[in-house]
Chain A
Amino acid sequence: MAEFGTFTILLGLAAALWAAIAAWIGHRRGEQRWVRSAEAGLHGALLSLTVSAGVLWTLFLTRDFSVRYVAEYSDQHLSIPLTISAFWAGQNGSLLFWAWVLAGAATLVTVRYRHRARELMPVAVLVLALVLVAFTALVAFTSNPFERLGFTPADGAGLNPMLQNWGMIYHPPATFLGYIGFTVPFAFAVAALVTGRLDAAWVRLVRPWVLWSWVLLGVGIILGARWAYTELGWGGYWAWDPVENVSLLPWLTATAYLHTAVLQERRGKLPVWNLALTFTTFAMTVFGTFLVRSGVASSVHAFAESSAGIYLLGLIVTVIIAGVALITWRLPQLRDTSARISGLSRELLIVVTNAVLMVFTLAIFWGTLFPVITSVVQGRDVTVGEPFFDLVTIPVTLALLVLFGLAPAVAWRRARTHGLQRRLLLPVGAALVAGLATALLDGGRNPLTNLTLSLSAFALATILMEFHLGVHGRGLRAIRDHIPRLLGLFRRDPRRYGGAVVHLGMVLLIIGVALDVTYRSDERHTMAVGESVEVGRYVLTFEDLSSEMTQTRMSLAATLGVARQSGSDAGSLTTERYLNVNQEDPRTAVGVRSLVREDVYVILQEVDIDSETASFSIHLHPGVLWLWVGSGLLVLGGLLALLPARREERVETPELAAVAAVGADGDEEVR
C-alpha cells in the first residue's frame, strides 16, 4: 500500500508538471484547449494527491509501523483524532498536506476564474502548477511519507507528548491553509506582470483569496497562542519563538497589502508596492516553511534538519529574483499617474500604516534571522529574546492605536480641519479620561501602560462613533431599529464596517495584552486538601485530589474552588499532572478560570499523595479575556469584510417596498 502511496505522489507530480507545460503552450499559442488541459492537469494532481492523503491516513489508522513516518509519529495507544492529526505532525506529512491543499486551491481557482480572468489564467495556472511541482517534488524526492523502514517494529515511537493535544487537530491545518492561500494572489500578480494587465483587475480578483488566507492564518496564530496558554503551562501565549514569528510575517505583509490594495482599487495608487507586497507575502510563507524544515531554527515547532531546506531556500531566491525582474521589466507601465497624496487624508493614513507595519515586519524578520545568520557565519549561538521584540512592539502598537483612532475620522482625499476637530473631540476626551484614570489607579508606576490604555480609549471611541453614525445617520432612530440598522451596515459596506470590527478586535487585543503584561502576578502555595489561600481578590480552596490510571495514561488531578473575597462563588478549576505511555517525563495540564477582570491560572507543581498536599503555581492574568474576545472580533471582522456589498435600495412606493422585501430574500434580479 505504501508503494501505491509513492506512486500517487509521483503521478500528482507528473500531472502538475503537465499542467505547467500545457499552460506555457496555451499562453504562447493563445489556444484555450491547452489552457483547459493545463487546468485538467491541476485537477489530476488534486485527484492523485487526494488518494495519497487517503493512503497515508489509512496507513496511520491501520497502524502500519513498517512505514517509517507512521512508526515515528504514532503508536498503538494514540487516540483516533490524534492519529488523524499525526498526518501533519512531521515534515513529510505536512509537506504532503501542503501539496494536497495547494492542488485543491489551484483547482478552485480554475473553476472560479476560468471565465472571469481569461487573459490572466494561462500564466496564473502556470505559476500555480510550478509551485505545485516544487512542493510535490519536495515530497517525492526529499520527504516521502511512504518510505518503508525495512522491518516492522511492534509499536511506533508515538506522537511527541507536546503535540498530544486537541490543538494539534486544528492549529496546524488552519496555519497551513492560510500560508497556502497566499500562493493564489502571487500567481495572479505574476500573471498581471507577464500579460501587462496591470490595472486594478488582478487586485479585485485576488482580494477574497488574500482575505481568506489572512483570516485563516490569523485563526491559526490565535489558536496556537490559545493552545500555548491553556496547555503548555508556562503562563504565556506568545514567546517570540522563531516559528511563531515567521507565521506573523506573512500575516503582517498581507495586512499591509489589504490596506494599500484599496488605494489601487479606488485611486490607482501604489501598483508597484502592491505587487511587491504580494511577492513578499508569498516569499514569507516559503521562508516560514524553510525555517521550520531546514533545521536552522531552534523551536518547539521545528522539524529535524533535512535536505528540504535547501530546496525551499532555492524557491525563495527564485521568487525574489522573479519578482524583482518582472517588476523592473514592467516599471514603465507601472508609473503611478494619479494625483499625489497631499495633506491629511485617509490615503495618507494608509501609507503611514503600511510604513509602520513594514518597520514591524522588518524588525521581526531581523530578530528571527539574526541568530540563524550568526550561527551559520560565526558558528556561535545567539538568542534574540523578548527585550528586543518589546523594544519594537511597544512603539509600533502605540502608532497603530493612533492610526486606528484617526482612520474613521479622516476623510478620503483631504480631511477638513473643522470636521476633524468635531469628530475627534469626544475620542480625545475619552483618551484623557482613560489615561488619567489608569494613572491614578496604579499611582503612575506604569506610564507606558497608561499611555497604551489612553490611546486604546481614543481608538475605541472613534470606532464606536463610526458605528453610531452609521446606525443613526443624520437623525435619531427608535431603539428597536438599531440591530437591523447595524446589520444593514455590514450588508451595505462590508469592507468599511468589517474593517472597523477588525480594528475594534485589535484594540481589545492590545488592551488585554497591556493589562496582562503589566499587572499579572504569580504566587506559589502548598496546600492540603480542604485548605484555602487568598490570591489577589480571590480565595482558592483545594477541594479535591484524585488519581486515575488507564492503559495509556496515569494522572493526578487537583480541583480548586474559586471564590471572590466578597464571598461570591466564581466557579472552580482542575489542574492535572499526567504521564502518557511512551513518555518519559510527566506533563501538566493547566487549570484556568476565565473571569471578566482576570484569569485565575493554576499549575499543579508537586503532589504528596500520602499527606494529600500539593504545591501550586497560581497566576492572575488580568484582561486576558479581552485578548481572546479581541482575537475573535479580528477573525469575525475579516469574515464580514468578505461579504458581498449590496447597493442600498431606494424604496419609493409601497409596491416597490414589497419588491425590495422580495429582493432582500435573495431574488438578485429584482433590485
Chain B
Amino acid sequence: MLFVLAAGLLLVAVALLILRPLLAPDTEVAPADGTHVDLDPDVDPDADAASDTATDADTAEGARDRVEASEDPLEAAIAVRRAAMAAREGGRR
C-alpha cells in the first residue's frame, strides 16, 4: 500500500514537473512597440554580470565624485578602477 502511494506521488510529481512549463505562457513574447523582450524569469548570468558592472560603475563622473569623498585609499582605488571600466564599457557601446 505504501509503495502504491509512493508510486502515485512520484507520478504526480513528474507529471506536474513536465506540464508546468506548458501551462505557463510562452516566455518569448513580442511587446506592442515591436522590441523583443525576453520575459524569462531565469536571467542569463552573463547578462547579469554585465548589467551589475554598469550599475556599480554608473558613470565615470559619479565614481570620481565618490573617490573624492572617500578617505580610504583602497576604496578609492577600487572606484577609480570601476570608473575606468565603466568608461571602457561606454566607449564600446
Contacts and interface: CB of A to CB of B under 8 A. Distances in A.
Interface of A: 1, 3-4, 7-8, 11, 14-15, 18-19, 22, 30-34, 36-37, 39-41, 43-44, 47-48, 51, 114-116, 653, 655-656, 658-659, 662, 668-671
Interface class of chain A by DSSP:
helix
A656 B17 contact: no
Nearest to B56: A669
Interface in B49-67: 49, 52-53, 56
A394 B7 CA distance: 57
B81 A659 contact: yes
B18 interface: yes
A32 B28 contact: yes
Contacts of B6: 4
Given A37-B22, A114-B42, A670 B10 contact: no
A656 B80 contact: yes
A32 B42 contact: no
A655 B77 contact: yes
Given A3-B3, A47-B13, A37 B18 contact: yes
Given A47-B14, A669-B82, A670-B82, A36 B27 contact: yes
B26 A31 contact: yes
Contacts of B27: 32-33, 36
B45 interface: yes
Nearest to B76: A655
B10 to A, nearest CB: 6
B21 A33 contact: yes
Interface in B24-51: 24-28, 40, 42-46, 49
Contact of A51 (B10, B19, B85): B10
B47 to A, nearest CB: 8
A47 B18 CA distance: 12
A33 B76 contact: no
Contacts of B25: 33
Contacts of B20: 37, 40
A33 B26 contact: yes
Nearest to B52: A669
A44 B73 contact: no
A4 B74 contact: no
Interface of B: 3, 6-7, 10-11, 13-14, 17-22, 24-28, 40, 42-46, 49, 52-53, 56, 73-74, 76-78, 80-82, 85
A78 to B, nearest CB: 25
Most central of A37, A656, A662 by chain B CB within 10 Å = A37
A47 B17 contact: yes
Contacts of B53: 669
Contacts of B80: 655-656, 659
Contacts of A22: 18, 22
Nearest to B46: A116
B45 A32 contact: no
B7 A655 contact: no
Interface class of chain B by DSSP:
helix
Contacts of B14: 11, 14-15, 44, 47-48
6 contacts: A4-B3, A11-B10, A19-B18, A47-B13, A116-B46, A656-B80
Nearest to A669: B53
Contacts of A32: 26-28, 40
A18 B13 CA distance: 14
A439 to B, nearest CB: 58
Given A33-B24, A48-B10, A40 B42 contact: no
A662 B81 CA distance: 12
A18 B22 CA distance: 12
Most central of B3, B14, B28, B53 by chain A CB within 10 Å = B14
B46 to A, nearest CB: 7
Contacts of A48: 10, 14
Contacts of B45: 115
B27 to A, nearest CB: 5
Contacts of A51: 10
Nearest to A39: B21
Nearest to B53: A669
A606 to B, nearest CB: 53
A130 to B, nearest CB: 16
The 9 A-B residue pairs whose C-beta atoms are closest, nearest first, are A655-B77, A36-B21, A44-B14, A4-B3, A115-B44, A37-B21, A659-B77, A33-B26, A40-B17
A658 B56 contact: no
A55 to B, nearest CB: 9
Nearest to B77: A655
B91 to A, nearest CB: 17
Given A37-B21, A47-B17, A48-B10, 14 more contacts: A1-B3, A4-B7, A11-B10, A11-B11, A18-B18, A30-B28, A33-B25, A36-B21, A115-B40, A655-B76, A656-B81, A659-B80, A669-B53, A671-B81
A658 B74 contact: yes
A33 to B, nearest CB: 5
Nearest to B8: A7
Most central of A30, A116, A655, A671 by chain B CB within 10 Å = A655
A655 B18 contact: no
Contacts of A670: 78, 81-82
Contacts of A671: 81, 85
Contacts of A31: 26, 28
A383 to B, nearest CB: 49
Contact of B19 (A3, A11, A37, A658): A37
B18 A44 contact: yes
A287 to B, nearest CB: 32
B42 to A, nearest CB: 7
A33 B22 contact: yes
A171 B89 CA distance: 50
Contacts of A41: 17-18
B4 to A, nearest CB: 8
A17 to B, nearest CB: 11
B43 to A, nearest CB: 8
Nearest to B4: A4
Contacts of B40: 32, 115
Given A1-B3, A48-B10, A658 B22 contact: no
